[in-house]
């Protein structure tokens, strides 16, 4: 069906701290955005939880709000694309749709001892070879095991086939279809530690090792392809759900990183860097993740799968939230840049924001936040600047490993996410990386990627070449730091990282 000026694609962007709905037109432009934050639960140190119902209600509310605000009827929506916080685990009752307990968020570290035990038992290579992942509490497989072992009667109910597990995309689709569809796409399945990225199936050996019944798991579908239609009562009509991708894979697709060697960094609550490595997985020798980027639909034998290398920084924008809510040296996130500009450098201060451990390439669940180099002359501006530098420096570590693994020298880094709007941070990133940083005109690339996947499946867009033609540069940041100054700053950063390592291990002994 040929698109008309009155047709749109709706992206549901379910993030860690808020649910958003974004309406896109055929040119890939944002027509309208609606957003609603929801509560974060921290029952004890290292535990992070969400209320699954609040996620669903907030997502449905913004979907209605964006249509109402834009004056658009549901009948004008050609397709819905869903993108989501990936490793967050939800367990619910198949009959009632009620959650068994709160969702365990990707940031949650309660299963770190379980992961350490799996490593000690020698299972690291098994997981790496089948899933492309390291064994870490970040992923949802051990979270599901914990739920089965700790929520009342959960394991017995699971064995009777009464429960369903899913990442947030599965939970939303279940709700959007009134329980008619229990699915996830390959990009989300690839983040569970339970899915074989070579055979595209749930892996029986891994399920057995973690003692997880297969009956809990959703059907795995392509990232682009109509998989369901919304229940008529929700929008007054049935809208095709035709795109699903984890948030970082969606952002990579939305950034038009469609060829091997192209890379992006999303500066959200965390920072997530992905490099397209083509149709074959690349094994990492530097503790990065090998993951499925996306899979375009069609007959099973004709589906196209793209793989990526990925590294995640746990504390990106969340570091700025800590300045606001923890230290209370700013009242709102936008204040951090003008505060940091009050000094030319950090005065030797280095912040390692390992509040939830360190992600790639260190993978230290027991690292903790460290602020070093303080003197009597240290003030709020130095700490603010050190926080911004920490975001950029963590990303440099990941990108350095990524270039070693892929054998590809990065020509440029495409950026998106809320913090990418900070010119100071983006210049810091270019300087510390020694590579140009490019910010696109449309920075809502996570939602745009979900929209693109849905629109391709329904004929709203014709092919990937059309999508790539829509990508436009808004600003290009060129590095202007000398190689010697860059090396000195990176060396100081790595000294600080060493001091943060393994700090909390005695608490888990």
Binding-site residues, in ranges, read: 16-18, 20, 86-87, 138, 247-248, 269, 317, 321, 418
Binding residues for glycerol: 86-87, 138, 247-248
Integer-rounded Cα Rg, in Å, for the chain is 22
Binding residues for sn-glycerol 3-phosphate: 16, 86-87, 138, 247
Calpha distance 374→376 (Å, rounded): 7
Measured CA to CA, the distance from residue 11 to residue 16 in angstroms comes to 16
* Known binding positions for ADP: 16, 20, 269, 317, 418
Q: CA 433, CA 421: separation in Å to the nearest integer?
A: 18
Residue 495 main-chain phi, psi, to 5 deg:
-65, -40
Structure token pair of residue 344 = 């030319």
Q: Where are the beta strands (DSSP E) in 52-211?
A: 77-84, 90-93, 103-104, 163-166, 183-185, 195-196, 201-202
**Tokens 């690839």 found at:** 190
90-93 and 219-221: which strand pairing?
Answer: unpaired
Paired residues of 103 in beta bridges: 50
In the annotated binding site for ATP, the residues are 16-18, 269, 317, 321, 418
Vertex 248: Cα angle to 242 and 253 (nearest 5): 55
Which helix (H) or strand (E) element contains residue 220? strand 219-221
Q: How many residues does the chain have?
A: 509
Among 241, 247, 262, 359, residue whose Cα is nearest residue 306? 262
> How many angstroms separate the Cα of 336 from the Cα of each of 331, 342, 431, 439, 444?
9, 10, 19, 20, 21
What residues pair up with 246 in beta bridges, in sequence order?
84
**CA distance linking residue 320 with residue 339, whole number of Å:** 12
Helix ranges (DSSP H) in 132-278: 140-150, 154-159, 168-176, 186-189, 204-210, 232-235, 247-254
- Which residue blocks in 264-379 are alpha helix, DSSP H? 317-322, 336-340
């Amino acid at each position: 069906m040929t698109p008309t000026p009155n047709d749109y694609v709706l992206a549901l962007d379910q993030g860690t701290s808020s649910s958003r709905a974004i309406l896109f037109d055929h040119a890939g432009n944002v027509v309208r955005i609606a957003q609603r934050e929801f509560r974060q639960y921290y029952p004890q140190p290292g535990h992070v939880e969400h209320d699954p119902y609040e996620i669903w209600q907030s997502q449905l509310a913004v979907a209605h709000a964006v249509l109402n605000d834009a004056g658009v009827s549901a009948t004008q929506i050609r397709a819905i694309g869903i993108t989501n916080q990936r490793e967050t685990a939800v367990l619910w009752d198949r009959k009632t749709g009620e959650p068994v307990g709160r969702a365990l968020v990707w940031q949650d570290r309660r299963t770190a001892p379980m992961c350490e035990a799996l490593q000690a038992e020698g299972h690291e290579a098994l997981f790496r070879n089948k899933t492309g992942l390291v064994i870490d509490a970040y992923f949802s497989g051990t979270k599901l095991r914990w739920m089965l072992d700790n929520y009342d009667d959960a394991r017995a109910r699971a064995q009777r086939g009464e429960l369903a597990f899913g990442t947030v995309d599965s939970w939303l689709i279940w709700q959007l279809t009134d329980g008619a569809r229990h699915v996830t796409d390959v990009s989300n399945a690839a983040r569970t530690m339970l899915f074989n990225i070579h055979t595209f199936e749930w892996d029986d050996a891994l399920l057995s090792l973690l003692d997880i019944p297969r009956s809990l798991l959703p059907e795995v579908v392509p990232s682009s392809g109509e998989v369901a239609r919304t229940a008529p009562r929700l929008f007054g009509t049935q809208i095709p759900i035709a795109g699903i991708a984890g948030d970082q894979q969606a952002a990579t697709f939305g950034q038009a990183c469609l060829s091997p060697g192209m890379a992006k960094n999303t500066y959200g609550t965390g920072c997530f860097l992905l490099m397209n490595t083509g149709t074959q997985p690349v094994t990492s020798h530097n503790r990065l993740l090998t993951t499925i980027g996306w899979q375009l639909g069609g007959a099973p034998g004709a589906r196209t799968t793209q793989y990526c290398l990925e590294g995640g920084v746990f504390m990106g924008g969340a570091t700025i939230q800590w300045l606001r809510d923890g230290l209370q040296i700013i009242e709102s996130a936008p204040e951090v840049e003008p505060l940091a500009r009050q000094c030319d450098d950090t005065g030797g201060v280095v912040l390692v924001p390992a509040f939830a451990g360190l992600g790639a390439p260190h993978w230290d669940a027991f690292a903790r936040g460290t602020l070093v180099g303080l003197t009597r002359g240290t003030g709020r501006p130095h700490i603010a600047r050190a926080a911004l530098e920490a975001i950029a420096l963590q990303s440099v570590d990941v990108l350095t490993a990524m270039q070693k693994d892929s054998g590809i020298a990065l020509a440029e880094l495409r950026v998106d996410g809320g913090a990418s709007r900070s010119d100071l941070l983006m210049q810091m990133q270019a300087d510390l990386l020694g590579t140009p940083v490019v910010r696109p005109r449309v920075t809502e690339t996570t939602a745009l990627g979900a929209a693109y996947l849905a629109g391709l499946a329904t004929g709203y867009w014709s092919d990937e070449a059309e999508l790539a033609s829509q990508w436009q540069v808004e600003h290009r940041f060129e590095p202007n730091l000398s190689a010697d100054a860059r090396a000195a700053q990176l060396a100081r950063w790595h000294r600080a990282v060493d001091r943060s390592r393994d700090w909390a291990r005695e608490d888990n002994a």
